[in-house]
Structure 1
């Protein structure tokens, strides 16, 4: 959810989301279109990466189209249903991919394309696979992991420890994170403990196996104690004045980064790139500590090739190249998107990577440690929508809505989205 996902502002193309795959032009050039979503999800608008591919593959031109999270996935579904209009390559967020699994005939099956799936964990591959495992509709891009990014300067002003090991020790649990927030709140003028309740809520659930759906695919969100407990703890923190109440990916949220309006933020790996891109002047003021609970995940996407495309072979080759370990490592080192290939985590390029922007934090070890004990999370057809619904509901609490009313309203919206209303 995000939302999922993307980043630092890099030079590139952002065309209207009306383009679809095309045949070779009059000059023999084949244009491959890629539809992506959000300001902060995988496959950033990275012209340098695309240029590298074009240079090595004469006659290929890559055009990226971007829209917001919800519009992107809704448009993809509409175009799949219509049988035309989809891009050559379409990005699907991890919380949305299960909603497309039942339409395997509308995507290229990467099991038929000589892809080595052992480079990813079984759980990552399974999410984009048919129930019998015979069809794989998407190749994984990044994986989130979870950590906590924090402002060392604001911690110092509040009299809190500033080194990442000392800070990590402050919050072995989310309850203790909220308690530290109570110590911080009010000590630094015009600065809150965290950016938005929705991010705390998502972080808490990032270490749970079953949240919105169970392993049988049943919607369990309303009766799942871990979800209600996460809601209640987040509401407690909001009531204690800890939230800056900045809706994610809003202009106000971006300003919050730039002006130091909050001291901590739940920080999947892709968040590093977002902070660097939106608040470059804060370089050296951030560091990265462990997430409360020690592990968890938030985020990830899949590259898919709709079968309606006119450039299937070329699209498959580009998809395989974009999700290869070499490219994923480059993206991690440039913007923070952590490679989904577990085979890369112990490589020198990843394991030894430290972020100068984040005070030399060893991001190459922090995120795999977070993922090492993280559960294989159950994701359902509307997981992404549900996450966004909760983020909006908690934002309404931050604006004064009664928490019980916000919860009830969220349940109604979730059931309607899942077709149970």
Structure 2
């Protein structure tokens, strides 16, 4: 790792920690022992984040491999997982044998990709055809080293509360909601204005997540495809910001704190009616509803529609640090967890959508009803939403820009502390201070 990259990585870790909450535990050291699981006893550590749906798979793997013990750490959010990973990379120790990497900070990881093993040495090229092309390619660095087994991708639909729609005189069945919202973001906000006028309640939870979805939908977001910053002077980006700002100033935002939602109660008490939902968010919604005292009867559903068309938000990879004392055994586990059969099970457990084509086809064909979301066939809906999805290039500070640049500016807009132009100006100021 060269000096400039190390300095950049340390700066990135420091910036990320500004907004990070207390981490939900630390990853354990790899320890010492045999590299391959073989017949010798081995303990493998793995760090994930959010809702991965791996708990049952860990147990299954241990049953298939009685000599393997898995010690798992799950961090609450991808942003906090970023802070955890970069803090340990900077320290030169502490990374788990397997580390989950999120799409939003993959670009920053690629600056220090030599921290992780080249999985071509462990046979990943034999599986290249398993994944959608762009997912496999995203996991390769500039030298062609492949550092991640692809887990999920993030095709997006709209979660909505059917009971709230009915109370506002809006159609609540999935097909009618898809027709109602089938259009650009202008349509989404027009329906939102009608809903807010009729009910006096918010249309979406907070501006930050809606903004993230709007940005991810563009061919190029905060960075151009060749890695240049793409915010200031970006007319398309500012036009979308102004569209969102007008809706927020009109009362459509519930001004929720990101990843909070009043302990889940805001999903239950009708505080807002819609929620942007990449596949992995389905597990988040269910967890929040249950935390807030609700259940399947609370009325949340999932529609096969997304304003403006296909969009990808999120997705992850499993990577093996060079510091692991169990690289071969860790690669065996990461490979197994990302096989199509396991990706289907992961989707059933957490709602996220697979990156392997075989698993995608299985979910599309099964059309299994999701009891929590009014029996919506969430897997087949996501398969439909995945058509045409190609992930946007994410630069090194992409997640910093989303969380620490636009996050505070949009929160101020949500709270009525500034107007749309003021929020944009605040974001540009923060961009120059934190990223440059």
Deviation of 1:381 (Å): 0.9
1:149 touches 1:265 (CA, 8 Å); kept in 2?
A: yes
Deviation at 1:250, TM superposition (A): 1.4
- Once the two structures are TM-superposed, the CA of residue 371 in structure 1 deviates from its matched residue by 1.8
Give the 3 Å change call, closer, same or farther, for CA 279–58 of structure 1 in structure 2. same
Q: How does 1:5-16 map to 2 (within 5 A)?
A: 16=25
Secondary structure of the 2:198 match is: coil
CA offset at residue 343 of structure 1?
A: 2.9
- Equivalent residue, structure 1, for 2:434: 417
Question: Residue 94 of structure 1: which of 95, 103, 106 is its match?
Answer: 103
Aligned length: 399
Q: TM-score, normalised by structure 1?
A: 0.89
Selected match of 1:323 from 329, 333, 338: 338
Q: How many Å separate the matches in 2 of 1:156 and 1:413?
A: 41
CA contact (8 A) 1:345 1:351 kept: no
Q: Counterparts of 2:300 and 2:313 in 1: how far apart (Å)?
A: 20
Following superposition, the deviation at residue 24 of structure 1 comes to 4.5
Q: Identify if the C-alpha distance between structure 1 residues 105 and 302 changes in structure 2 by more than 3 Å, giving closer, same or farther.
A: same
8 A contact 2:134–2:390 mirrored in 1: no
Partner of 1:50: 58
State the alpha-carbon separation in 2 of the partners of residues 222 and 343 from structure 1: 41
* Aligned 1:120-199 pairs, distance under 5 A: 120-132=131-143, 134-171=144-181, 172-188=183-199, 191-199=201-209
2:251 aligns to what?
A: 241
Q: Please say if residues 329 and 350 of structure 1, whose CA atoms lie closer than 8 Å, have aligned partners that are also in contact.
A: no
Deviates more, 1:79-88 or 1:93-102: 79-88
CA positional deviation for 1:263: 0.7
Aligned partner (choices 11, 15, 36) of residue 48 of structure 2: 36
Q: Provide TM-score, normalisation by structure 2.
A: 0.86
For the Cα contact (< 8 Å) 1:34–1:90, is it kept in 2? yes
Query: Which residue number in structure 1 is paired with residue 128 of structure 2?
Result: 117
Alignment-derived partner of residue 286 in structure 1 = 300
1:395 aligns with 2:403: no
Counterpart-to-counterpart distance in 2, 1:380 and 1:394: 21
How far off its partner does 1:346 sit?
1.7
Mapped to 2, the partners of 1:380 and 1:353 lie a distance apart of: 37
CA deviation map 1:120-174 (0-9, x unaligned): 1222122221224x21111111111110011111111101111212111222111
State the SS of the aligned residue for 1:288. strand
* Partner residue, 1:373: 388
SS at match of 1:162: coil
Is structure 2 residue 261 aligned with structure 1 residue 255?
A: no
Residues 213, 313 of structure 2: 8 Å contact kept: yes
- Mapped to 1, the partners of 2:192 and 2:158 lie a distance apart of 13
Q: Counterpart in 2 of 1:310?
A: 325
Structure 1 residue aligned with 2:423, among 406, 411, 419?
406
Equivalent pair of 1:144/1:337 in contact (CA under 8 Å):
yes
Taking a change above 3 Å as real, the CA distance of residues 353 and 222 of structure 1, as seen in their structure-2 partners, is: farther
Query: CA-to-partner distance for each residue in 1:97-125, whole Å, 9 max, x for gaps?
Result: 12122333221111222121211122212
RMSD across aligned positions (CA): 2.2
- 2:317 alignment partner, SS class: strand
CA distance in 2: counterparts of 1:199 and 1:187, whole angstroms: 24
How far does residue 217 in structure 1 lie from its aligned partner after superposition? 0.4
Whole-Å separation in 2 of the counterparts to 1:206 and 1:100: 19
Instruction: Call closer, same or farther: CA 1:15–1:53 in 2, change over 3 Å.
Output: farther
Range that drifts further, 286-295 or 250-259: 250-259
**Residues 15, 64 of structure 1: 8 Å contact kept:** no
1:350 positional shift = 5.7
SS of residue in 1 equivalent to 2:170: coil
Q: Which runs of 5+ in 1 are unaligned?
A: 1-13
> Per the alignment, in what secondary structure is the counterpart of residue 160 of structure 2?
strand
Higher mean displacement: 253-262 or 159-168:
253-262
